[in-house]
Amino acid sequence: MTASRALRYMAPDFFAIHPVGPLDPEEDCLLFDYDFWSTVPEATMRVPSFSRWLEEQDHTPAYEHYKKVLQYLYWQNPRGRWILKTPQHMEHFDEIFRVFPNARIIQTHRDPSKVVASFCSMVSHAYGIFSDRVDPVEIGRHWSRKALNMVTHSIDIREQVDAGRFMDVQYHELMADPIGTVRRIYGFLGIPFTARTESTVRRWVRDNPQHKHGKHSYRLEDFGLSRSEVEKSFAAYRTRFNIPGEGA
């Protein structure tokens, strides 16, 4: 609770980008912090040497430790279900299947020009919490490269794994039909989508409209990037998953 209030004080606009609550779900990349395998440091501070070191490591030990942490959490709530989410996983599909051989992956897709700009904006706000010096061009250069690495790696691994282990969810489909999209996800996971579940989802959608915490505004140009160069870099990814553009 105190941390949430402190974040709201230091970066009030951050909640329009990534809402944070003391009892709300959060990305599981934080579980990798415990043994220094997380991308959180480079998403909150400029640490290029750490970033290079992290990218050069075999992350199998990281996922083995991550599994132990999840087992501990499951021990506390054995009736719960775990849906784990962080972009960091896209760089490590091979390690995930090595440590979790029965894993299923729901991969979401959106126009890369929007994703890269949005993520760079979030990182720049995070940097501002911990530093008085924030270089948006350096952020754009670093995170556009990392984003491309993520999608490239995910494509490479998906060519080697049974396609039935993956489900693709397009952003525009989720926004147009959130109930139908969640129903498809439940079907993919083999979980009954009951009337009670549907009611819960509808209530969440009603209570959490887009821009609830303010509108997140961002532009590629603010980070030294252009739509044309991002389109060129991510062309193979967009074609592979038939991702529509969203305009300027």
- The CATH number of the domain where 226 resides is what? 3.40.50.300
Domain containing 93: what range?
2-241
pLDDT of 209: 87
Do residues 67 and 59 lie in contact, with contact meaning Cβ atoms separated by under 8 Å? Answer: no
pLDDT of 9: 63
Phi, psi (deg, nearest 5) at residue 67: -60, -40
The tally of domains found in the chain comes to 1
Task: Tell me whether residue 247 is in a domain.
Answer: no
pLDDT of 205: 94
Q: 169 CB contacts (<8 Å, ≥6 apart)?
A: 106, 107, 108, 109, 181, 184, 185
Q: Quick one: CA torsion of 87, 142, 5, 29, rounded to 10 degrees? A: 30
Do residues 222 and 195 lie in contact, with contact meaning Cβ atoms separated by under 8 Å? Answer: no
Task: Tell me whether residue 145 is in a domain.
Answer: yes
Do residues 4 and 20 lie in contact, with contact meaning Cβ atoms separated by under 8 Å? Answer: yes
Task: Tell me whether residue 16 is in a domain.
Answer: yes
pLDDT of 129: 85
pLDDT of 50: 94
pLDDT per residue, tens digit, the chain (248 aa), is 566 676 666 667 776 677 777 777 888 999 999 889 999 999 999 999 999 999 999 999 999 999 999 999 999 888 877 889 999 999 999 999 999 999 999 999 999 999 999 999 999 988 988 888 899 999 999 999 999 999 999 999 999 999 999 999 999 999 999 999 999 999 999 999 999 999 999 999 999 888 877 788 889 999 999 999 999 999 999 999 999 988 76
> What pTM was computed for the model?
0.89
Task: Tell me whether residue 104 is in a domain.
Answer: yes
Does residue 247 come out as left (phi exceeding 0), alpha (psi in the -120 to 50 range) or beta? left
What span, in angstroms and rounded, lies between the C-alpha atoms of 120 and 141? Answer: 9
Task: Tell me whether residue 188 is in a domain.
Answer: yes
Crossing angle (nearest 10°) for helices 136-158 and 48-55: 10
pLDDT of 230: 96
Return the closest-CA partner of residue 58 out of 99, 102, 103.
99
Task: Tell me whether residue 102 is in a domain.
Answer: yes
**The length of the chain, given as a count of residues:** 248
pLDDT of 20: 76
Tokens 């779900």 sit on residue: 25
pLDDT of 77: 85
pLDDT of 217: 85
Task: Tell me whether residue 248 is in a domain.
Answer: no
What span, in angstroms and rounded, lies between the C-alpha atoms of 146 and 35? Answer: 21
